[in-house]
Amino acid sequence: MQQLPYISALEAVRAVRSGDHVHLSSIASVPQILIEALCERAGELSGVHFHHFHTEGPAPYGSAAFAGSFLDQGFFVGPNLRASVREGVADYIPTNLFETQLMYRSGSLPCDVAMVQVSEPVNGMVSLGTSVDCSPAALEVARERMAVVNPQVPFAEGDLVPLDRFTALVRDDRPLITSTYASPSATDLEIGRRCAALIPDGACLQMGIGSMPNAICASLVSHKHLGLHTEMFSDGALALIRRGVIDGACKAIDKGKVVASFLLGSREVYDFIRENPQVQMRDIAYTNDPRVIARNPGMVSINSAIEIDLTGQVCADSIGTHIYSGAGGQLDFVRGAKLSKGGKAIIALASRTARGLSKIVPMLRPGAGVVTPRADVQWVVTEYGAVNLYGKSLQERARLLISIAHPEDREALERAAFERFNRAI
């Protein structure tokens, strides 16, 4: 096996052509050195498209300064690109995360160049570290395959890549981006308590990141033998792993293992996965496949919402017409959990926004995206209760959702339900 010589980032990106579609490894492990070099070439290029999960750190490829040269079309919109998408200089590809890899592998979405950040090699193999996501698919189909070899990227077990798959190698040693989350509010903690009450010992979990997932984790410290099969995890879940609450003992597949596709959190989280046989960092094709998810009994998915209407339609990606995030893996895990023996799919949200507006609404805002259709929704949890909409009629759903709305919003919601159904519910 002959290893390629390391070259400069500017030399590597000379292989990018006008009109190319470029995949970026994402979240905390964005190959910033290649992006910076490509921006130096912006005047020579036109119509270069970028695709990625949400990215942390600078995102010049999505700014108006490079319009014409670059067009960002992410699978998920993070805080660094929301304004650009709103202004129309960047765009969004609506998709469930499970299907991102399928788009590349099927050719539905071109992938000419893959730019990823990887660990230092071990026995000729490298790890994608904290962000595997759909990069394995991109590396299978791309014409140019560029790796930033960075000692800060942990060598994680799971889906590894042969070093000789790459057409260019660049070195960098900048630290991975870390993230901290606000302490859970009293509302978060109450929602966490109610979610934890729905989770039996031995369940297998999926949850996201942020103050509410951390609150849920804080309410699970007395549970036993939980598993973790998730698209991502952070410090809240790590605390449960260290306490032995999450041990994977009851999992039917990947028994005793923590399975994820990407991470965002503290340096402690990243260090935890380094050469840790307890953790498997896998292709999104595996972690988010509903058929794989369903193989673990007692699968419990916990996801959030921006708003939910009285029939159970869940908006989680936009505020009206303004894209806020993306569909993510919510529907992947809702469907997988429901197919799991004894599984539960939970949508957890505060009853009101920070501005005091009800998140349980008569109708979604005009232009709002439905991420989880009403035919798929199951449990909904707020700080005022937990209700199961599965198998319930429209009127029954409205009655249940109103019962967990903020008390000051219930009368208005009852009037809206009366207007909709022509009867008091």
Tokens of 377: 């929704």
Rounded-to-integer distance, Cα 315 and Cα 326, Å: 10
Cα separation values, 204 from 228, 278, 297, 298, Å:
5, 15, 7, 6
Bridge partner residues of 48 (DSSP): 70
What's the distance, CA 371 to chain centroid? Answer: 13
Pick the catalytic residue from 190, 231, 307, 383. 231
Rounded-to-integer distance, Cα 247 and Cα 201, Å: 11
Rounded-to-integer distance, Cα 243 and Cα 418, Å: 49
Of the candidates 169, 400, 206, 220, which has an alpha carbon nearest to the alpha carbon of residue 288? 206
CB atoms within 10 A of CB 215: 24
What is the 8-class DSSP label of residue 283? -
What's the distance, CA 299 to chain centroid? Answer: 18
| 231 tagged catalytic | yes
User: Which helix (H) or strand (E) covers residue 172, if one does?
Assistant: none
Tokens of 7: 């070259």
Rounded-to-integer distance, Cα 180 and Cα 265, Å: 6
User: 258-260 and 279-281 as β-strands: parallel, antiparallel, unpaired?
Assistant: parallel
> Which sequence positions are flagged as catalytic?
231
